[in-house]
């Protein structure tokens, strides 16, 4: 992947009509840190949402068992809630997880670093630093809007 300057990324983002990748990552991290599942999901790519929907659909096949398994991991949904679970509710439940051994990554002290946009302008990587460790958040352009395609663990 060839890297462009941040100025090029901004020009490309403006030309595409959406926020620059680093701004999308900033919004994503803010929503993540505040446990706003629906806002997190709104920033996710079609592929990432399809993956999540696949998981949700599997849970819906056996709501009683899924409710129990999720509860053992600190994610609290009743069997009825599992039957009607949406991606935003599922993400919100995961973000409110009360079991530290199954917690999602903590981005509360994340610092956004370098942005690299692919030469074709369709994908980008934004580096974030969390507790001194650099991680990559991958984005994809969908309809001129940057979407989170992969969440680092």
CATH of the domain at 117: 3.10.450
Measure Cα distances from 110 to 15, 25, 67 in Å: 28, 10, 31
- pLDDT recorded at residue 97: 83
The answer to the question of residue 1 being in a domain is: no
What is the mean pLDDT, run by run of 10 residues, along the chain of 153 residues?
38 54 96 94 96 96 96 93 96 84 80 95 95 93 95 71
The answer to the question of residue 13 being in a domain is: yes
- pLDDT recorded at residue 25: 96
The answer to the question of residue 103 being in a domain is: yes
How many domains would you assign to the chain?
1
Q: What is the CA radius of gyration of the chain?
A: 17
The answer to the question of residue 64 being in a domain is: yes
- pLDDT recorded at residue 101: 63
Phi, psi dihedral angles at 117 (to 5 degrees) = -110, 130
Q: Indicate the pTM of the whole model.
A: 0.81
Q: Which of 126, 145, 147, 149 is nearest to 22 (CA)?
A: 126
Q: For the residues of 65-92, what is the DSSP string, one character each?
A: HHHHHHHHTT----HHHHHT--HHHHHH
Q: Which domain holds residue 58?
A: 6-150
The answer to the question of residue 102 being in a domain is: yes
């Amino acid at each position: 992947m060839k890297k462009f300057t941040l100025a090029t990324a901004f020009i490309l983002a403006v030309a595409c009509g959406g926020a620059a990748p680093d701004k999308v990552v900033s919004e994503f991290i803010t929503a993540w840190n505040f446990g706003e599942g629906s806002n997190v999901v709104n920033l996710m790519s079609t592929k990432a949402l399809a993956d999540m929907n696949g998981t949700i659909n599997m849970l819906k096949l056996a709501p009683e068992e899924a409710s129990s398994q999720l509860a053992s991991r600190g994610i609290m949904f009743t069997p009825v809630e599992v039957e009607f679970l949406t991606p935003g509710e599922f993400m919100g439940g995961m973000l409110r997880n009360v079991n530290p051994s199954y917690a999602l990554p903590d981005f509360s002290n994340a610092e956004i670093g370098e942005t690299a946009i692919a030469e074709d302008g369709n994908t980008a990587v934004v580096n974030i630093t969390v507790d001194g460790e650099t991680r990559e958040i991958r984005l994809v352009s969908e309809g001129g809007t940057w979407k989170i395609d992969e969440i680092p663990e």
